[in-house]
Amino acid sequence: MSDNQPVTLVILGASGDLTHRLLLPGLGTLLRTRPDLDVKLVGAAFEALDEAEWRKRVSEALADGGCRVERAERMASETRYAQLDVTDPAAMAAFLAEVDEAGRPIVLYFALPPAISQKACGVLAGLDLPEGLRLAIEKPFGSSLASAQEFNKLLASVVPEDQIFRVDHYLGKATVLNLLGIRFGNRIFEPVWNANNIERVEIIADEQLALEGRAGYYDGAGALKDMIQSHLLLVMAIFAMEEPANIDAVELRDLMVHSLRATKVWSGEGEVPSRRARYTAGSIDGREVPDYTAEEGVDASRNTETLAQVTVEICSARWAGVPFRLRSGKALGDGFRGIVVKFKPVAHLPGGFHNGAEPNLMVIGFAPETIGLSVTTNAEGDRWDLEQTTLGTELSESPIRPYGEILDGILSGDPLLSVRGDIAEECWRILTPVLDSWASGEVPLDEYTAGSYGPTAWN
Ligand code: BG6
């Protein structure tokens, strides 16, 4: 997908944590695999930062991603930093004029809180913009269906959709992209990838990490908006989609939105549509974790959930009746992140075996990247006993981190791994009934001890 077009990457919010922890190291991994990439880096933020300090941060963060030292130092020596108020039209116009160079499209990467990004895009709408300007917008994209629609309308008045890159780093995860290879590159999975053979699917992102000082953002978002609205619904869309004729930005995203349009919160028997909970003090691997409400910056009266679970159904001939459970939370015991596919039992087991056959289970792990398939085999010792054997492998680690993959698409102008506007809206549409039922207090806010697997009553 990459080409070699020169490009200027402007990071707005360059002094922040996202830039330092994820964006620059991700760029570092990309530069290591693509030393030919002709990218100029400019940092800008509201905060005044000494240019020498910025250069030091750039070279360290690129090296952290594995970028070769000379390359990291060259980029650091050529980068510059500007103090900028992105909500000030005159300052923004002057800044863009300064960074604009003929033949070098600009990417404006908004590593900023959502409300400020939206304000800054409002400012851009009133300016004369450099030719081919691309906008990269971090998740969460809006805070509700209405705000996402409004943001999409605003963006459409600034640049065309193929110059808008809504970022979701889960789309850059190797195992998520691997779903396409597993499903469509094998004879044995696709024929059973349907409601006739699959009983249920769980997509889980449990984290051992707690709040990590992010109350300013997280306490206003919570687990549902932080993880399920974007990451997990997108993974589900790829898991469930029909076969693309070609893996390109139109086809892949058309088929993702096709699955999402058919998705609604579970309303049948046997499943709870949604649950929420918040952690109380506990310990994880010997590390003491305070009660969520005692964390600095948390307003307990907001009732922010740190664990969310939603079960949806994809109303199509392929998936009708299969519960897809999406769950994500913080401060949890085992931190499992991945997909668990439970197959249906065999239609008939010949008589004569001493015991029954357990259904097949497939586990696709995100971190580490693993695939495991449990199959029924004859037991050692007695051939008429059946037992489960797991065939598994750990996939080799991708040389490019998820943010590097996403940046690769943005820098080369390929929106394949970016979230299209209609997809972002569908994800909000699916969760609107959940948000409404939580707001009206219909779903209790349960509690779990940090370090546990969630509220015991959920199991
Ligand atoms: C981010 C969320 O998008 O994803 C964080 O804001 C979360 O709260 C992170 O910790 C998880 O990403 P990963 O790649 O570590 O699973």
What one-character-per-residue DSSP string does 150-217 give?
HHHHHHHTTS-GGGEEE--GGGG-HHHHHHHHHHHS-TTTGGG-STTTEEEEEEEEE-S---TT-HHH
Residue 230 CA: nearest ligand 1 atom is 3
Q: Which two tokens stand for residue 144?
A: 């509700």
Edge-to-edge strand ranges of the sheet holding 7-12? 80-83, 39-45, 7-12, 106-110, 134-137, 164-166
pLDDT at res. 2:
47
33: Cα separation from own chain's centroid: 23
Max Cα-Cα span within the chain = 82
Mean pLDDT lowest for which of 186-195, 239-248, 314-323, 379-388? 379-388
> pLDDT tens for residues 216-268?
999 999 999 999 999 999 999 999 999 999 999 999 999 999 999 999 999 99
The residue to mutate among 23, 219, 226, 364, having the most atoms of ligand 1 within 8 angstroms of its beta carbon, is 226
Return the best residue to mutate from 224, 227, 295 for the ligand 1 pocket (most ligand atoms within 8 A of CB).
227
* Site of tokens 């086809």: 251
Contact call for residues 111 and 11 (beta carbons, < 8 A)? yes
Per-residue pLDDT tens digits for 50-107: 999 999 999 999 999 999 999 999 999 999 999 999 999 999 999 999 999 998 999 9
pLDDT recorded at residue 48 = 94
Q: Is there a contact between 177 and 428 (Cβ–Cβ < 8 Å)?
A: no
Beta strand 7-12 pairing with 39-45: parallel
**Would you say residue 421 has pLDDT above 90?**
yes
339 C-alpha to center of ligand 1: Å?
16
High-pLDDT (> 90) share of the chain, %: 92
What distance lies between CA 333 and its chain's CA centroid?
21
Specify the DSSP class assigned to residue 457: G
DSSP assignment letter at 19: I
Q: Whose CA is nearest to atom 2 of ligand 1?
A: 226
For a mutational test of ligand 1's pocket, the pick from 204, 207, 219, 366, i.e. the residue with the most ligand atoms closer than 8 A to its C-beta, is: 207
Q: Cα of 330 to ligand 1 centre, how many Å?
A: 10
Q: Which CATH number fits domain 171-458: 3.90.25.10, 3.40.50.1470, 1.10.3720.10, 3.30.360.10?
A: 3.30.360.10
State how far the Cα of 218 lies from the Cα of 302, in Å rounded to an integer: 11
Show which residues are catalytic.
231
State pTM to two decimals.
Answer: 0.96
Q: Tell me the torsion sign for CA atoms 443, 449, 454, 456.
A: negative
Cα–Cα distance measured from residue 105 to residue 190, given in angstroms and rounded to the nearest whole number:
41
pLDDT tier at 396, thresholds 50, 70, 90 = confident
The pair phi, psi for residue 45, each rounded to 5°, is: -165, 165
Range 375-382 average pLDDT:
92
pLDDT surpassing 90 at residue 4: no
Location of structure tokens 């939206």:
118
Q: Can you state the angle between helices 233-240 and 174-184, rounded to 10 degrees?
A: 20
According to the model, what pLDDT value does residue 174 have?
87
Cβ(232)–Cβ(205) under 8 Å? yes
Q: Is the predicted pLDDT of residue 3 greater than 60, yes or no? A: yes
Per-residue pLDDT, averaged over 145-163, amounts to: 97
The conformation of residue 309, written as its DSSP 8-state character, comes to E
Q: How confident is the model at residue 1 (pLDDT cuts 50, 70, 90)?
A: very low
Ligand 1 centroid to Cα of residue 378, in Å, is 41
Checking if the pLDDT of 9 tops 60, the result is yes
Ramachandran angles phi, psi of 341, nearest 5°: -110, 120
pLDDT of residue 343: 98
Q: What is the CATH number of domain 7-138?
A: 3.40.50.720
Residue 167, CB-side half-sphere exposure with 13 Å CA sphere = 28
Burial class of residue 210, CB neighbours in 10 A (0-12, 13-18, 19+) = buried
List where CATH 3.30.360.10 sits in the chain: 171-458
| Residue located nearest, by CA, to atom 13 of ligand 1 | 170
CA distances from 337 to 292, 314, 369, 393 (A): 22, 22, 10, 16
Q: Which of 322, 395, 391, 398 is closest to 362 using CA atoms?
A: 391
Band the pLDDT of 177: cuts 50, 70, 90: confident
Q: Could you tell me whether strands 282-284 and 287-289 are parallel, antiparallel, or unpaired per DSSP bridges? A: antiparallel
Pocket, ligand 1, Cβ cutoff 6 A: 205, 207, 209, 226, 337
Please give the average per-residue pLDDT across 314-323, as a whole number: 98
Query: 294 C-alpha to center of ligand 1: Å?
Result: 22
β-bridge mates for residue 74, sequence order:
none
Crossing angle between the packed helical segments 24-33 and 402-412, to the nearest 10 degrees: 70
Average pLDDT over residues 323-331: 98
Instruction: Kindly give the distance from the C-alpha atom of residue 390 to the centroid of ligand 1, in angstroms, as a whole number.
Output: 29
What is the rounded CA–CA span in Å between residue 432 and residue 145? 7
Contact 310, 272 (CB under 8 A): no
Residue range(s) in the chain whose domain bears CATH number 3.40.50.720: 7-138
Q: How far is the CA of 231 from the centre of ligand 1 (A)?
A: 9
Minimum-distance ligand 1 atom for the alpha carbon of 207: 10
User: Which atom of ligand 1 lies closest to the CA of 214?
Assistant: 8
- The per-residue pLDDT of the chain, averaged, comes to 95
Distance CA 332, CA 208 (A): 5
Helix/strand/coil for 362: strand
Nearest-CA residue for ligand 1 atom 8 is 226
